[in-house]
Amino acid sequence: MSIQIPRGTQDLLPGTTEIWQYIEKTARDLCSRYQYKEIRTPIFEHTELFLRGVGDTTDIVQKEMYTFKDRGDRDLTLRPEGTAAVVRSYIENKMFGLPNQPVKLYYIGPMFRYERPQAGRFRQFVQFGIEALGSKDPAIDAEVLALAMGLYKELGLKKLKLVINSLGDKESRTAHRNALVDHFKPRIGEFCSDCQNRLEKNPLRILDCKKDRDHELMKTAPSILEYLNEESRTYFEKVQKYLTDIGIEFVVDPTLVRGLDYYNHTAFEIMSEAEGFGAITTLCGGGRYNGLAEEIGGPETPGIGFALSIERLIAALQAENVELPIEQGIDCYLVSLGDAAKDYSVKLAYDLRNAGFTVEKDYNDRKVKAQFKSADRLEAKFVAVLGDDELANGKINVKNMASGEQVEYELTSFVAEFKKLYA
């Protein structure tokens, strides 16, 4: 049997890669306007980074990481997400010493999670994410959310829902944590073994459990919002005020718990509300992670960011029937007939391409009719026809495929004349 692609991965072929490039370009342009700069970190990191960063009670760390030993017996992991690595890099490269804080970074790259593949869930997927490190101004929270929503809007998505929550600061979370333990402890025997382990280690994770989602205690669990101290409440109110000021609609959902441990204060998700989108509706997730830098050995550094996968973004575009305005068609197709003309077309194609045009020609000795068919399929704007007779007379015939108009040019000035067609 021939070798096949690994489960949960995909080949992106021409026709699709253009869509990806368009989305990536839109994201990069948006980042430039918001002044986020690109960072590229390795595809693999020391496993320890994710144990400490993402959290050892999370599904990602417990069940989903591609972890391996290299030949030097180092414990490495294909990155399941980008935030921990960006924070590691911020610390390692002493970006906290840069004069301009916060340091605003973005990344686009593959992430790896050993999950059960289904629509919108892959084992290798590409995240576009941003991280703003070094500010605890709630205005940055609003900015991060504006950028995420801005990308979707710019690409033409309309059916979106932004859900936000506050997980509060350490003090608020400790109070909430104790309340959660009191709430679940008497009946923890009715929960799955994962939840039983989570009870003491990290009871907030229970709220994120997929198996026990419908247990009655889930609905009556104490809400974090009731446990926010003054500072956390004020912070959350400020974030909401800024969002309202810039006209971004949101709903507050006190049950929103993210699947990674590093969050505090603002947490959010953006969902697709398009009909037929499928079971997994979360397009984007993020939040604030003020303690993460210290967790992995750096100085105290507040941070906030989000990540979204391009795969789910494309699924949402399809669900909303959005056609991206992707440029199609080539500038010129060179049709040649006769051996001398065919040879000459090699140089002609080279000259036109050098002048900046998108150009294609025949390489399979096809008949003129078949060459014209290729030109049609490639949506050529012009077809330049060169036969041995024209070549002998130093002429070339150019047809405008939209109007049908034909013009004959001197071969010697053809490239210059062709430029004028585009001037």
Count of other CB atoms within 10 angstroms of residue 355: 14
Is 113 marked as a binding-site residue?
yes
The residues, ordered by sequence, that sit 6+ positions from 382 with a Cβ below 8 Å of its Cβ are: 331, 332, 333, 398, 399, 400, 401, 418, 421
DSSP string, 359-421: EEE-SS---HHHHHHHHHHTT-SEEEEEEHHHHHHTEEEEEETTT--EEEEEGGGHHHHHHHH
User: C-beta of 150: minimal distance to ligand HAM in Å?
Assistant: 16
User: C-beta of 168: minimal distance to ligand HAM in Å?
Assistant: 17
User: C-beta of 196: minimal distance to ligand HAM in Å?
Assistant: 24
Verify cis geometry, omega within 30 degrees of 0, for the bond prior to 325.
no
User: C-beta of 117: minimal distance to ligand HAM in Å?
Assistant: 8
The closest alpha carbon to 234, from 162, 132, 288, 166, belongs to 166
Q: What is the largest CA-CA distance in the chain?
A: 96
The smaller minimum CB distance to ligand HAM, of residues 229 and 282, is found at 282
The closest alpha carbon to 304, from 355, 206, 236, belongs to 236
The smaller minimum CB distance to ligand HAM, of residues 120 and 203, is found at 120
The smaller minimum CB distance to ligand HAM, of residues 307 and 359, is found at 307
Give the interface with ligand HAM as residue ranges (CB under 6 A): 81-83, 113, 115, 120-122, 125, 127, 129, 131, 259-260, 282-287, 289, 305-309, 311-312
Residues in the chain: 423
The smaller minimum CB distance to ligand HAM, of residues 289 and 344, is found at 289
The smaller minimum CB distance to ligand HAM, of residues 156 and 222, is found at 156
The smaller minimum CB distance to ligand HAM, of residues 320 and 360, is found at 320
Is 262 marked as a binding-site residue?
yes
User: C-beta of 146: minimal distance to ligand HAM in Å?
Assistant: 15
CA distance 202 to 187: 16
Which SS3 state, helix, strand or coil, does residue 202 take?
Answer: coil
User: C-beta of 164: minimal distance to ligand HAM in Å?
Assistant: 13
Is 255 marked as a binding-site residue?
no
Is 131 marked as a binding-site residue?
yes
Which two three-digit tokens encode residue 147? 């950028």
CA atoms lying within 13 Å on the CB side of residue 413: 6
User: C-beta of 256: minimal distance to ligand HAM in Å?
Assistant: 11
The closest alpha carbon to 183, from 234, 144, 222, belongs to 222
User: C-beta of 405: minimal distance to ligand HAM in Å?
Assistant: 49
The residues, ordered by sequence, that sit 6+ positions from 245 with a Cβ below 8 Å of its Cβ are: 142
Verify cis geometry, omega within 30 degrees of 0, for the bond prior to 102.
yes
Count of other CB atoms within 10 angstroms of residue 178: 13
Which two three-digit tokens encode residue 283? 């397009």
Is 312 marked as a binding-site residue?
no
Which SS3 state, helix, strand or coil, does residue 285 take?
Answer: strand
The smaller minimum CB distance to ligand HAM, of residues 163 and 401, is found at 163
User: C-beta of 226: minimal distance to ligand HAM in Å?
Assistant: 25
DSSP, res 351 = H
DSSP string, 24-43: HHHHHHHHHHHT-EE----S
Q: Are the CB atoms for 381 and 332 separated by under 8 Å?
A: yes
Is 83 marked as a binding-site residue?
yes
The smaller minimum CB distance to ligand HAM, of residues 81 and 320, is found at 81
Count of other CB atoms within 10 angstroms of residue 119: 12
Which SS3 state, helix, strand or coil, does residue 189 take?
Answer: helix
Is 233 marked as a binding-site residue?
no
DSSP, res 60 = I
Is 258 marked as a binding-site residue?
yes
**Look-up: residue for tokens 């030097």?**
72
The smaller minimum CB distance to ligand HAM, of residues 58 and 336, is found at 58
Annotated binding site for L-histidine: 81-83, 113, 127, 131, 258, 262-263
Binding-site positions read 81-83, 113, 127, 131, 258, 262-263
